[in-house]
Structure 1
Amino acid sequence: MARENGSDMAREIDPAAQACLDEHLSAWPQLAHRIYRQLMHELHSREVVTVDEIYEQTLTACSLQADAAPEVSEVEATNRLIRDYAIRYLTREQIDEAVSMARKREEADALRSIVSLPSVSFRVLADRVRRFCSVDTTTRRIEPEEAIGIRVGLIRHLVSDQLEFIGVAKRFLTIRDMDVIIQHIIGPEHGMGRIGGKAAGMFLAYKILVGDPSADPEPQASRPAGVPATPVDPSPPREPLKVSIPESYFLRSDVIDEFLELNGLGEYQTQKYKSPEEIRSQYPLIRQEFRKGRFPPAIVERLRQMLLSLGTVPLIVRSSSLLEDRFGTAFSGKYASVFVPNQARGDLRQRVVSNQGRLEQRVRALLTAIAEVYASALGPDPLLYRRAHDLIDYQEDMGVLIQKVVGVQHGNYYLPAFAGVAFSRNEYRWSPRIRREDGLLRLVMGLGTRAIERVGNEYPRMVALGEPTLRPESQPQEIIRNAQRSVDCINLATNRFETISIDALLAEGMDFPMLDRIMSIRRDGALYQPPSAFLTEDPRNLTVTFDKLLRDTDFPATLREMLRRLEGAYRRPVDVEFAHDGTDLYVLQCRAQSEMAQASRTVVPADVPRDAVLFRASRYVRTGQIDDIEYVVYVPPEEYDALTTRERRVEVGRAIGSINHALHDRRFILVGPGRWGSNDLRLGVPVTYADINHARMLIEVARERDGYVPEVSFGTHFFQDLVEANILYLPLYPDDPATQWNNAFFDGRCEPIGSLLPDGESLGSVIRVLHVPAACGGRKLRVVMDGNTDTAIGYLV
C-alpha cells in the first residue's frame, strides 16, 4: 500500500489535484459528504488504501488528537484523511470523475424518490430527469442495480404501466433515453400521462436495434411465465443496425381529458356500455362533435411551435392509446391514423397533413386530425374489441403520435420508395423450403397502407425472408397479373391522400428512388432485371417485383436480423411496420405478434363418407379444429357479384354484422366471396372486426373463372382481427380439382333471413343462413385443419 507509519503519505501533494478538489468542494458544498465517500471508493478500488485502513487510521488520529483538538469529529477526521490521500494519489481527471459520479448518485437518489411516488407532475419529473442528464456524460454509468429502479419508475409514469412491456423496456431504455422522450412530449406541465402503446413500441424497437448493448443491466433475464422458448438468442446484439425512426412528437394521454372537459364531451365516455347498434348509429355524430372541439391554448401553442420546428414536411397523426400494441391485444387498425386535411379512405380514415400553406392553416388541420384520432376511440370496432377482450372497464386514454412521413417528393407526390410489414414468424408457407422462424414480409411500393390493408385486385410482394427470391407464383403471367399497379401517396398540390397508378407516378419522372430495384422489365411475356440503375423503359412495360432488391441487396438479411433481435428482446414473436426513403430504413411500429390459441395436433380423418363432406381444401391451411357448428352463413359469390350498386354491397356487410350479433351465442361460420374486408367492394364483403367477431371461422371462396383468387390475408390488420378473436381462416378454391365442395348443401334449404333480420328479406338470395341440424338430419358440422399436411375438411357428424 502507498503509505508509511499510519497516516504518513509516501507521495507529495499534487497542486493541480488539490486545486481541483478545493474547487469542487467550493462549488458543491452540499455534496461534500457524497464527494468524500466517492473519493474513498476510488482510493479503495485503485488499491491506494482500503476502506478499513481509512477507518483504522481515523480512529488512531482521533485518539492522538483527543486532547489537542477535541472539537474535531470522527467524520471530519475521516474526510481530512481521504482528502490527503486523494490530492497525493489521484490525478485531476480522476478527481473530476469521482465528483461527477458523486453528483450523478445524488441526482439519481433524488430522481428515485420522485419516480417512486404514485403520482407526480410532469414538470417535477422532467426537471429531475434533466438534472440527472446534465451531469457529465463521460463519467462511468451508475451501477445497473441503481439504474433499474429508476428506469422502471420512469417507464411506468411516462410510457406504459403494462408489466410485460416494462419487463422488456427496462433492459433497453436508459434514463437518458427517457430524457429524449421528455423533450418531445406535449402536455400540461402540472398533469401527467403516457405516450401510449404505438409510440412506446416504436421507440423501444429502435433502442433495441441501435442501442448500446452494455446498457442492458440484465441480459439473461428469464422468459415470462407461459411464454414458449424461442430459438433466438435473447442477449443484446453487438453491432447496432442501420435503422432510424421518423422525427416524432408525443401528445400525452392526459390531453384528451382536458379536451373532453373543455368541450363538454365527457358524456360520451359511457358509449362503451351501450349496445352495438347504439354505438354504430351514434358514432358519426360523435366524430362531428369532436372535430368541432377546441383545444387548451397552451397545447395549441406547443403544437404551433412544433410545426415551426418541423417545417413543411408532410405529417401523419397516429393513435397511440394506452391499450394499443399491448402484449396479447394489439388493436390493429382499430383507431385512426390520420394524414390530414380530411379525405376519408376506408376504415383507416387516412387523411393528408401535407403541412403546406400558412402556419395557422397547418395548425387547424393538425388539430382536426388529433380530434379525429380522439373520436376513433369511441368507434364500434375498438369498443367491441375491448368488450370481447374483457377490457371494457379499463379507463382508456388516448395518446397521439405525430410524425414526419417517411418519403421523398417526386413531382407533386410525396411517398417512400417502399414500405411494408414484417413478421418474425411465418404462418403462410407456400413451399417446404420455407421455415416458420425465418419470418415473412409484405412489401409494397409507396406508402405502406397497401401492405396492411386489403385493397383492390392487386397484391403486395410476399417474401419468405429465409428464401427471399422464392415466390408464391410460378409463372411470369401470374406474377404480372397479381403485381401492384397503384401506389398510395400524398398529393402536395391538392393536400390529399391519394391512390394513383404507377404509370401516373412515373410520368412525373423516372428518377424515383431505387426504381431499378423495385421494377422488372416486361418483354414478350417474360420479366427481366433492369441492366442499370437508370431506367429508360416506357413505364407501361414495367412491373413491380422487387426482384433486384431481394436478390442483390442486403435488405432481406437486414430485415431478418432485425426481426431476430426484436423477437429475442421481446421473447415472443413480433411484427414490425417499416418504410424506406431510398436512403434509410425506418421503423414505424413494433408489437408482439398476435398468435391464435395453440391447437393441439390435429389429424384429418381419411374415412369420411363423401356425402358427409361439405368441403375439402389443400392450400394455405393452418392448424385448428371446430366442433358442433350449428349455422353456416353463406354469401354465394355469383349472387354477390350480381349486385350492381355500392349501396347494395354495403347493405350486405351491414346485414352480416347484424347476423353476427344475432348469433353471438351460437356456433357459426362465415363463407363467402374472397377478400372480405377489402376496400374494393367488388372483391369481397365490406366488413370490419365488429361485424365478424362472434364467428368461429371465415372461409373465403374463390371461383377461378372470376379472374382473381382471394389474397391470403396473413399480415393485414384484417387477419390480425381473425387471430385475436380466435377465428379460424381458410381460403377455398372450389374449381381446383384437389378441392371438394358440396354444392347440394350450400345451395340447399336455408333459414328465412327474416327470422334473424326482420328488414333483411330483400337479401334472402345474397345471404343464406344454413341451419346445419335442420338441413342434415340433426347432425352438426365439424372442421379439422392440419397445417403440417396442408389439408382441411368440413364434414357432418
Structure 2
Amino acid sequence: MRQRIRDVLLVSSLYDLYLFEEDGRLYELIRNEYQGLHLSHSPEITRVSSAHEALTLLEEEKKFDLVITTLHTEDMHPVKFAQAVREKNGSLPIVLLSFDNRELNNILIRYDTSVFDKIFIWQGDYRLIIGIIKFLEDKLNVEHDTKIAGVQSIIVIEDNIRFYSSFLPIIYTETLNQSKRLISEGINLSHKYLRMRARPKILLCQTFDEAWEYFEKYKEYILGIISDIDFMKSGKQNARAGIEFAKEVKKRVFDIPILLQSTNPENEKEANQVGASFLYKESPILLNELRQFMVQYFSFGDFIFRLEDGTETGRASDLLTLEEQLRVIPEESIKYHAERNHFSNWLKARTEFWLADKLRPRKVTEYESIDELRNYLIYSLQEYRRIRQRGLITDFKKDTYDPKNGFARIGGGSLGGKARGLSFLNILINNYGISDKFEGVRIDVPPAVVLGTDIFDQFLDENNLRDFALKCTDDSEIKKRFLNAKKFPEEAIGDLIAFLDLVNEPLSVRSSSLLEDSQYHPFAGVYETYMIPNNNENPFLRLYELINTIKLVYASTFYKNAKDYIKITTYRLEEEKMAVIIQKMVGSEHGNRFYPDFSGVAKTYNFYPIPPLKPNDGIVLLALGLGKMVVEGGKSVRFCPKYPKHLIQFHSTKEALSTNQQQFYALDLETKQEKNKIIQEEFTKLFDISEAEKDGTLKYAGSTYSPENDRIYDGLSYEGIRLVTFSPVLKHKLFPLAQILDLLLDMGSWGMGTPVEIEFAVNMTPKDSNLKQFAVLQMRPLVISQEIEALKIDDVEKEKVLCKSSGVMGNGIIKNIYDIVYVDYNKFDRGKSKEVAAEVSHFNSKLTENNIPYLLIGVGRWGTMDPWLGIPVTWSQIAGARTIIEAGMKDFYVSPSQGSHFFQNLTSFMIGYFTVNEENENNFLDWNWILEQKCEEEKNYVKHIRLNKPLIIKMNAHNNCGIIVKQQE
C-alpha cells in the first residue's frame, strides 16, 4: 500500500464529540483495535470546533490526509466548509458524518453533496471510523496493489447510507480478522507482515456503472460481490439493477460468489436463479448472516470438503492439512471443488496468489483421472512450499545447503539489518512469482551464508579486542590487531570449510550490523564490503583469505568513520554488533577479470527530478561493471524507470563526453595475497572501457561518438570514441531493466511500507543457465520523511540572499547556523582537490568536537571519487555540516552527484543540499559577500568564518527550491 491515512482532522461541535466519545474512550478504542488487528500505526485524530479553525490548520500544517466533518460546525455550513477545503486542497478526501437520518435527508435534498467523497451515519460503532479510513485507503491503493501484488478485492454496491454505514465495519472487521488468522501461519515475521498487507480491498460503490467499471478493471482479482438490488443504473433508479449486475458478472466469471440483499423477500428466487445468495435486509440477524456468508463463500474459514449434496467429508485449516486431506478425500469431493475453482478461491483468500494463479487455469477435463488431479494438487502444494522456503534463512548444513539458491546462517545472534532486508526481498520475489513476469530472465537474491552476531562477540572476547577497539583511534592499528588475532570460533571455521567445499566462485564479504539499514539511520557505506577471488588451488589459503576478510569487516565496526557516524545518532558504539554476509558474486569471468555486465542503484524517490519526471517516479544510477562505481559516486548513467529514454545527461555531446564513464571496476582474479595484507583495492581494480569492448560486455552499454560530425551513434559499429550510454538496454530494450526496476521498487516500497533503495547487478550470460540474471544485492529503507512535506518559501530582498537554488534536497527551516566553512572559489585548483578534502576534514573535526553545526560551501561535486569533478571527501570528513552547497566550477556545469552512500547519509540526517549553477537564472550564490567576511581560520584553499547572527535556511522539497538568508549587518 503506497498511500496511508495517518492524520485525520475532525471538525465537530463539543456535543458531537460527546456523542462520539460516550465514555471518553474513542481514540483509545481505535488504537486498541489497530493493535489487536496487527495494523501498523493507528491514525492521529485532531479535533477542532469551527470551520475557520480547521481551514487555518489545513493551511498551516499541511499534514492531514483526511477531513471528517459533522453537520454541526460553529461558524459555517458543512457543505460550504467542504467547498472551501476543496478549493485549496483539491484531492484531500472529505467525509460528512451525520448522527440523524432526518437531518441528513434535509441536506441531501437542498444541497449538492458531491463535494464530499462519502457520507456516513454514526450509529455508535467506533469501528466505523476504521472502516472510513480503510475504505479511502483501499480506493487510493487498489490499482497499485492489484498490479504489484495481485491483491484481491470485494465489490460492495449499496446506495443506502444507513445500511452501508452499518455493515461496512462488519466487512472490514471480518477481512482484517481473516488476515489476523493467517498471520499465525506465517513462516516468519516478514511473511506474516506481507500477509497483513495483502488483505482484500473493499470497493464501496453506489451505482451499477461505478461497480461495473471496477469489475471490468479488476475481474481477475475479484474475491466476491455484496450488492443491493435496487439502485441507479445509467442515471436512472433500477429496481432490478443488482440482479442484472449479478447476471452479467456470472456470464464472464461463473464462480465469483455473489450476495444480493433486499428489503423485498420475493427477490430471493430470482437471486438464486442467477447463481447468487440472498439476504433479507430486515432480518434481525442480518449482520451475523453477512458475516457467515463471508466466512463460507469468500473462503475466510477452513476449507470444507463436501460432496455435491452438501455432505462434509473433511476439513483443512492450512496448506499442510489441505495436503493431508487431499490424500484421503473421496474422488467425488475433489471433482466437485475443482470444477468450481474452490481450491484457487480459498488460496486467494489466504493471499497465496502465486499458487492460486497456477491452479486456476487448469480444468478437470485436462486430467485422465481424478486420481491424477489429486496427485497434481498435492505436488503443487509441495512445490509451492519448497519455493516459499527459498526466502527463509535456515541453519547451515553442508548436506542440505543449495549453493545455487541457499540462504543460511552460521552461529547464533542477530543476522543484522542488511541480511534481514535480503531475506525479506527473497520472500517477496518468491511469494509473488516476480521472475515469472519477465520471459528469459531469472530474478533472484544471490546465494549466501550469514555469520550471526554471536560469532562477532565470541571473536572479540576470545581475543580481548573489545575495550581496545572501542578506545583506539588509529584505524591502521585496529586493522593490524584484528588481522593478528589468533582465535576464531571453531564452530564457524568448520562451517566455513564446508561452505567453501560447495562454492568456489568469487565472493563478496559484506557487513550486516544490528543498526545497518534501519529506517532512520541506515549507516549506508559506513562499514566495509570486500570482494575476494576465492580461486586459490590450496583450500587452506582460500579459508585463510576468507577469515581474514571477515576480520576486516569486524574491524570496520570500530574505524574512525564508524565512530564519527554513530556520534551523531542516538546510539552508542557499545550497542553495535556485526553480522557478516558471505555471498556469491554476480558476474562472469573475462580472462583475469570478474564482473557483472552492469550494475547500479535504484531509488523510489528522486531528489532532483527534471520534467517530465516527478520525485515519486524514482531514479536509477547505472554503470558498466561492479556497483562500486555507483555507490561511491563515480560516473554513471542516470535514468527514471518510468521514462528510460529520457536521459538528460546526454542532451549535448559536450555534456555526454564530460560526464561519461570511461573506466569500470572489476575483480582482479590474478591478484595474489600476501600474509596479513588484504585491502579491498588489491582485488577490485579499475579498467578502461576498451577492455570491456575486448571482453564483449561493452555491446550492452556502448555508443560511439563521431568527432567528425559531432554526433553520438547507438552501438559499436561506427569508428569513434566509445561512450557508456546503455542505449541498447534503455532505448532498444535488449533487456527489460526499466520494467524490472519499476516493479521491484513498487513491490519493495509496498512490502516495507516506506520508500526503498535497491542495489542490483545484471549478468547477461550466466555460465550455469540460459536465462539472463537480474540479481538484487541489497534493499534498504530510503529516508525521505521530511522531503514529502511542503514548505512555503517567501520572497526575500536580493541583498539579503546568500544563496538561492532550484536544485535543492531537503525540507524545512534551519535557524541555528552561525559558522560557514567554504572552499575559496578563486583559489580552487582541481589538481589539488585531495588537499582541499583534507582541509575540509580539519575544519569538520574541529567544529564537530565542539558540537557546532555549520554551512559547507564547495566547488564541483562533493563526495565524488573523481578528483577532477570536485572534492573527493568521504562522509566522515563532512559529517558535521548541517547544510551543504555544491557550486559550479568556472568551466564546468556541475550536475548533482547521487552517489548512493553519500546521498543516503545526507537524507537520513536531514541535511540540506543546494546545487548552484549560476547560468540558471534561479540560482545564485553571493561569493563577494562570503569573501568579504573576516576569517576565524584559513588554510591554503579552505576558510572558516563565524557570523554574529545566524543564517536562515529554507527548503521546499515539493518544487526542489531553497533559499539561504543572511542576517549579518
TM above 0.5, one fold? Answer: yes
**Residue of structure 1 equivalent to 2:875:** 689
Alignment of 1:402 with 2:578, yes or no, is no
**Residue of structure 2 equivalent to 1:517:** 700
Q: Would the alpha carbon gap of residues 654 and 788 (structure 1) be closer, same or farther in structure 2, given more than 3 Å must change?
A: closer
Q: Which whole-Å CA distance do the structure 2 matches of 1:365 and 1:137 have between them? A: 48
Counterpart mapping for 1:648-667 below 5 A = 648-649=835-836, 651-664=838-851, 666-667=852-853
| Pick aligned residue for 1:561 from 730, 739, 743 | 743
Q: Which whole-Å CA distance do the structure 1 matches of 2:329 and 2:950 have between them? A: 88
**Residue of structure 1 equivalent to 2:459:** 259
Q: Which whole-Å CA distance do the structure 2 matches of 1:253 and 1:137 have between them? A: 41
Q: Which whole-Å CA distance do the structure 2 matches of 1:388 and 1:395 have between them? A: 15
Alignment of 1:209 with 2:209, yes or no, is no
Q: CA RMSD in A?
A: 3.5
Structure 2's unaligned 5+ residue stretches are 1-301, 316-324, 335-375, 402-406, 673-682, 765-771
Asked if 1 retains the 8 angstrom alpha-carbon contact of 2:844 and 2:881, the reply is: no
Aligned to 1:287, the other structure's residue is in SS state helix
Alignment of 1:300 with 2:493, yes or no, is yes
The percent identity for this pair of structures is: 23
Alignment of 1:780 with 2:944, yes or no, is no
Residue identity in the other structure for 1:472 = I
**Residue of structure 2 equivalent to 1:591:** 780
Q: Which whole-Å CA distance do the structure 2 matches of 1:698 and 1:766 have between them? A: 17
Aligned to 1:630, the other structure's residue is in SS state strand
Asked if 2 retains the 8 angstrom alpha-carbon contact of 1:643 and 1:649, the reply is: no
**Residue of structure 2 equivalent to 1:309:** 502
| Pick aligned residue for 1:445 from 624, 633, 647 | 624
Q: Which whole-Å CA distance do the structure 1 matches of 2:670 and 2:738 have between them? A: 35
Q: Which whole-Å CA distance do the structure 2 matches of 1:284 and 1:86 have between them? A: 64
Q: Which whole-Å CA distance do the structure 2 matches of 1:422 and 1:430 have between them? A: 17
What's the CA shift for 1:657? 2.6
| Pick aligned residue for 1:631 from 809, 814, 819 | 819
Asked if 2 retains the 8 angstrom alpha-carbon contact of 1:674 and 1:702, the reply is: yes
What's the CA shift for 1:694? 2.8
Asked if 2 retains the 8 angstrom alpha-carbon contact of 1:443 and 1:451, the reply is: yes
Alignment of 1:717 with 2:894, yes or no, is no
What's the CA shift for 1:529? 1.8
Q: Which whole-Å CA distance do the structure 2 matches of 1:681 and 1:486 have between them? A: 14
| Pick aligned residue for 1:551 from 725, 731, 744 | 731
What's the CA shift for 1:443? 0.4
Alignment of 1:475 with 2:652, yes or no, is yes
Residues 466-499 of structure 1: per-residue CA shift (max 9 Å, x gap):
2111122321221122111100001222352101
Residue identity in the other structure for 2:762 = H
What's the CA shift for 1:566? 1.3
Alignment of 1:768 with 2:943, yes or no, is yes
Residue identity in the other structure for 1:494 = T
Residue identity in the other structure for 1:177 = L
What's the CA shift for 1:245? 1.8
Asked if 1 retains the 8 angstrom alpha-carbon contact of 2:802 and 2:966, the reply is: yes
Asked if 1 retains the 8 angstrom alpha-carbon contact of 2:641 and 2:739, the reply is: yes
Q: Which whole-Å CA distance do the structure 2 matches of 1:672 and 1:690 have between them? A: 16
Q: Would the alpha carbon gap of residues 683 and 354 (structure 1) be closer, same or farther in structure 2, given more than 3 Å must change?
A: farther
What's the CA shift for 1:448? 0.6
What's the CA shift for 1:425? 2.0
What's the CA shift for 1:304? 2.0
Residues 716-761 of structure 1: per-residue CA shift (max 9 Å, x gap):
21111111111111111245555333233211132332xxxxxxxx
| Pick aligned residue for 1:286 from 457, 478, 483 | 478
Aligned to 2:443, the other structure's residue is in SS state coil
What's the CA shift for 1:91? 7.3
Aligned to 1:254, the other structure's residue is in SS state helix
Q: Would the alpha carbon gap of residues 684 and 49 (structure 1) be closer, same or farther in structure 2, given more than 3 Å must change?
A: closer
Counterpart mapping for 1:217-366 below 5 A = 242-268=442-468, 271=470, 281-293=473-485, 294-311=487-504, 313-340=505-532, 353-366=533-546
Q: Which whole-Å CA distance do the structure 2 matches of 1:444 and 1:505 have between them? A: 12
What's the CA shift for 1:317? 0.5
Q: Which whole-Å CA distance do the structure 1 matches of 2:731 and 2:391 have between them? A: 39
Counterpart mapping for 1:478-493 below 5 A = 478-493=655-670
Q: Which whole-Å CA distance do the structure 1 matches of 2:427 and 2:789 have between them? A: 37
Aligned to 2:786, the other structure's residue is in SS state coil
**Residue of structure 2 equivalent to 1:26:** none
Counterpart mapping for 1:12-51 below 5 A = none
Asked if 1 retains the 8 angstrom alpha-carbon contact of 2:536 and 2:542, the reply is: yes
What's the CA shift for 1:602? 2.6
**Residue of structure 2 equivalent to 1:641:** 829
Q: Which whole-Å CA distance do the structure 2 matches of 1:580 and 1:289 have between them? A: 37
Q: Which whole-Å CA distance do the structure 2 matches of 1:89 and 1:439 have between them? A: 51
**Residue of structure 2 equivalent to 1:177:** 392
| Pick aligned residue for 2:568 from 365, 369, 388 | 388
Q: Which whole-Å CA distance do the structure 2 matches of 1:783 and 1:667 have between them? A: 13
Asked if 2 retains the 8 angstrom alpha-carbon contact of 1:43 and 1:86, the reply is: no
Q: Which whole-Å CA distance do the structure 1 matches of 2:582 and 2:450 have between them? A: 6
TM-score relative to the length of structure 1:
0.66
**Residue of structure 2 equivalent to 1:8:** none
**Residue of structure 2 equivalent to 1:76:** none
**Residue of structure 2 equivalent to 1:165:** none
**Residue of structure 1 equivalent to 2:339:** none
What's the CA shift for 1:384? 3.2
What's the CA shift for 1:687? 3.3
Which structure: greater strand fraction? 2
Alignment of 1:610 with 2:798, yes or no, is yes
Alignment of 1:526 with 2:711, yes or no, is yes
Asked if 1 retains the 8 angstrom alpha-carbon contact of 2:935 and 2:943, the reply is: yes
Alignment of 1:672 with 2:858, yes or no, is yes
Q: Which whole-Å CA distance do the structure 2 matches of 1:541 and 1:691 have between them? A: 36
Q: Would the alpha carbon gap of residues 739 and 663 (structure 1) be closer, same or farther in structure 2, given more than 3 Å must change?
A: farther
Residues 533-574 of structure 1: per-residue CA shift (max 9 Å, x gap):
xx4555x53211012211222321121011111111112111
Q: Would the alpha carbon gap of residues 411 and 629 (structure 1) be closer, same or farther in structure 2, given more than 3 Å must change?
A: same
**Residue of structure 2 equivalent to 1:574:** 756
Aligned to 2:656, the other structure's residue is in SS state helix
Q: Which whole-Å CA distance do the structure 2 matches of 1:284 and 1:547 have between them? A: 44
Q: Would the alpha carbon gap of residues 694 and 176 (structure 1) be closer, same or farther in structure 2, given more than 3 Å must change?
A: closer
What's the CA shift for 1:409? 1.4
| Pick aligned residue for 1:698 from 867, 884, 908 | 884
Asked if 2 retains the 8 angstrom alpha-carbon contact of 1:423 and 1:439, the reply is: yes
What's the CA shift for 1:376? 0.7
**Which sits farther off after the overlay, 691-700 or 763-772?**
763-772
**Residue of structure 2 equivalent to 1:56:** none
Q: Which whole-Å CA distance do the structure 1 matches of 2:391 and 2:760 have between them? A: 25
Q: Would the alpha carbon gap of residues 178 and 283 (structure 1) be closer, same or farther in structure 2, given more than 3 Å must change?
A: closer
Q: How many residues align?
A: 579
Asked if 1 retains the 8 angstrom alpha-carbon contact of 2:936 and 2:946, the reply is: no
Aligned to 1:771, the other structure's residue is in SS state strand
Q: Which whole-Å CA distance do the structure 1 matches of 2:775 and 2:328 have between them? A: 52
Residues 238-296 of structure 1: per-residue CA shift (max 9 Å, x gap):
95884112221112221112211222213236x2xx6xxxx5x3332111111122313
Asked if 2 retains the 8 angstrom alpha-carbon contact of 1:660 and 1:692, the reply is: no
**Which sits farther off after the overlay, 472-481 or 673-682?**
673-682
Aligned to 1:563, the other structure's residue is in SS state helix
Q: Which whole-Å CA distance do the structure 1 matches of 2:512 and 2:529 have between them? A: 9
Residues 656-710 of structure 1: per-residue CA shift (max 9 Å, x gap):
332331452x4421111222223344544443333333321011122242xx344
Residue identity in the other structure for 2:947 = V
What's the CA shift for 1:137? 11
